Amino acid sequence: MTLFARGSARAREHFDWPLFLAVVGIAIIGVVNLYSATSPYIDDPRRAGLADMYVQQVYWLVVGGLFGTLAAVVDYRNIERFAYVFYCMGIASLVLVLLLASDIRGSSRWIDLGRFAFQPSEFMKIFVVIAVARKLSDDPRTEAKTLIDLAPAALLFSVPAVLVMFQPDFGTSMIYAACGFTMLALTRLRRSSLVVFVMGLLPVVWSMWHFGLREYQRGRILSFLDPEADRTGTGWHALQSRTAIGNGGLWGEGFREGIQNQFGFLPDQFSDFPFSVFAEDWGFVGCLALLALYAFVCAWAVNIAAMAKDRFGAAVAVGVGAMFFWHTFFNIGMTIGILPVVGITLPLFSYGGSSTLTTLVGFGLLMNVSLRR
């Protein structure tokens, strides 16, 4: 048997079908939901381009699938060798954003290359995961760590978080921090260091509120605490989202029948609030089924981490699973009103090329670790 044949046989034997089918299922439901979200624009000649978003999303899923396949095929130990190179490239792209990015709706997040624009902060999520995983794998000690021991790994996700805050993009900064801290949870921390860390969060939160957030970002958080205070301003998004979800009831209004979406009351329904569209169309039962798929993928990532053959593979699986989990948690949390609106996408549901590519490359890395478990 040739080397290629042996490799193909091994791939077939260890191919992670549960992960593959769950991701494909979410992606298909996402495209169908995007069609419903943009269907009000079909007969509007002024916004006809928005009606084709679901077709463009299919293209991005195909391209993302190709990149995800590449991420799964290349042995992740080779990726480990170049982890810091990828990270430095990502940092350079974030600096480039601050210099060259186009201003869209008050934020400078995209680099425009003519007909193609990409968001470096999205790709940086993968680079942060593999860089932190590399740092954790370079330290084989098993004893409890101090904050000084973990500082280099924490710096790897803190630097891009600060750079992205200047765009400004508070939501993506939170994703970096949440994923980084989740990966650091793989290590044991001394109790005294844990106490110091918790106490140190208070001045950090105070400084972020007064100096790190823009006025409109603070307004979103305050409107989350009392959305009724400004129903037509900062509280509009949250209130309309909750109304749409409430309209769905138990079984939903039906496909493309949601009043909030079809009559244009729900803002950003194809980017920030696709879950609200889905909830209005399919109701509580449909939401349970969708959340079950998301929960399965997150749990399966932990399972892959537990079976990984080395520390780097385990850390990558935890990092990708954390990225998927926190995106889902923050997005759905803001749509149902338990978290402030921070503009975080719902994986494989929200429209966006950079977001879709990043998510599928992340799943490619998960498949990579699973194939070589």
Task: Give the model confidence (pLDDT) of 238-264 as tens digits.
Answer: 888 898 999 989 999 989 888 888 888
Helix intervals (H) in the chain: 3-14, 17-38, 48-51, 53-73, 76-81, 83-100, 120-137, 147-165, 170-184, 191-207, 215-225, 236-248, 259-262, 274-307, 311-336, 353-371
| End-of-domain residue from the set 192, 213, 234 | 213
pLDDT digits (tens, 9 = 90+) for 116-132: 677 888 999 999 999 99
Over residues 355-367, the mean pLDDT reads 95
The neighbouring-strand residues paired with 111 are: 118
The structure tokens listed for 214 are: 């823009």
CA distance 198 to 59: 45
Question: Which structural domain, as residue segments, surrounds residue 373?
Answer: 15-79+221-373
Q: Please report the pLDDT score of residue 263 as a whole number.
A: 84
CA 174 vs CA 107, 208, 331, 342: distances in Å: 16, 12, 12, 9
Tell whether the model's pLDDT for residue 7 goes beyond 70: no
Q: Could you tell me if 328 and 235 lie in one domain?
A: yes
What type of residue sits at position 152? P
Q: What is the mean pLDDT of the chain?
A: 85
Burial degree of 201 (CB within 10 A; 0-12, 13-18, 19+): exposed
Q: Based on the domain organization, do 61 and 87 belong to the same domain?
A: no
Residue 4 pLDDT > 60, yes or no?
no
Could you tell me the pLDDT band of residue 357, with boundaries at 50, 70 and 90?
Answer: very high
Beginning with the edge strand found earlier in the chain, give each strand of the sheet holding 116-118 in spatial order: 102-104, 107-113, 116-118
Distance CA 75, CA 80 (A): 9
Q: How many CB atoms lie within 10 A of CB 95?
A: 13
Task: List the structure tokens of 248.
Answer: 């769905």
When pLDDT is averaged across residues 32-42 and rounded to a whole number, the result is 87
In a domain, 41, yes or no: yes
- Does the residue 306 lie in any domain? yes
Residue 357 lies in a domain: yes
Q: Residue 3 above 50 pLDDT? A: no
Judged by DSSP in three states, 212 sits in helix
Tokens of 364: 């490619």
Q: Is residue 4 part of a domain?
A: no
Under DSSP, the state recorded for 227 is: G
pLDDT, position 241: 87
Of the candidates 195, 213, 231, which is a domain's last residue?
213
Instruction: Say if residue 229 is in the same domain as residue 333.
Output: yes
Averaged pLDDT, 103-108: 60
Is residue 6 situated within a structural domain? no
Reading the block at residue 195, the tokens are 């106490």
Q: Which of 32-36, 43-47, 53-57, 186-190 has the lowest mean pLDDT?
A: 43-47
Does the pLDDT of residue 2 top 60, yes or no?
A: no
- Residue 277 confidence (pLDDT): 94
Q: Is residue 204 assigned to a domain?
A: yes
pLDDT tens column, 138-192: 877 677 777 788 889 999 999 999 999 888 788 899 999 999 999 998 887 777 7
- Residue 223 above 80 pLDDT? no
| pLDDT interval class at 296 (50, 70, 90) | very high
> Does residue 256 share a domain with residue 185?
no
Question: Does residue 339 carry a pLDDT above 90?
Answer: no
What pLDDT is attached to residue 1?
Answer: 45
Domain stops at, among 173, 193, 213: 213
**Which residues have C-beta within 8 Å of that of residue 211, sequence separation ≥ 6?**
none
User: Mean pLDDT throughout 182-207?
Assistant: 77
Q: How many CA atoms lie within 13 A of 316 on its CB side?
A: 32
**Tokens 């990043």, located at residue:** 358
40 with 88, same domain: the answer is: no
Would you say 269 and 261 are in contact if contact means Cβ atoms under 8 Å apart? yes
Answer whether residue 3 is part of any domain. Answer: no
58 and 122 assigned to the same domain: no
Task: State how many domains the chain has.
Answer: 2
300 and 274 together in one domain: yes
Asked if residues 186 and 152 have their Cβ atoms less than 8 Å apart, the reply is no
Strand partners, 358: none
Provide the residue type at 58 as one letter. Answer: V
Distance between CA atoms of 33 and 67, rounded to whole angstroms? 24
Question: In this structure, are 365 and 244 located in the same domain?
Answer: yes
Domain-embedded: residue 9: no
Query: Cβ contacts of residue 90 below 8 Å, gap of 6+?
Result: 120, 123, 124, 127, 128, 160
Query: How far apart are alpha carbons 138 and 28 in whole angstroms?
Result: 39
Tell whether 196 and 115 lie within a shared domain: yes
89 shares its domain with 41: no
End-to-end CA distance of the chain: 22
Q: Categorize the per-residue pLDDT at 237 as very low, low, confident or very high, splitting at 50, 70 and 90.
A: confident
Phi-psi region of 152 (alpha: psi -120 to 50; beta: other; left: phi over 0): alpha
Distances from the Cα of 268 to the Cα of 258, 261, 273, angstroms: 15, 10, 6
Are 194 and 281 part of one and the same domain?
no
Q: Are residues 93 and 236 located together in one domain of the fold?
A: no
How many Cβ atoms sit within 10 Å of the Cβ of residue 2?
Answer: 7
d(CA 309, CA 373): 5
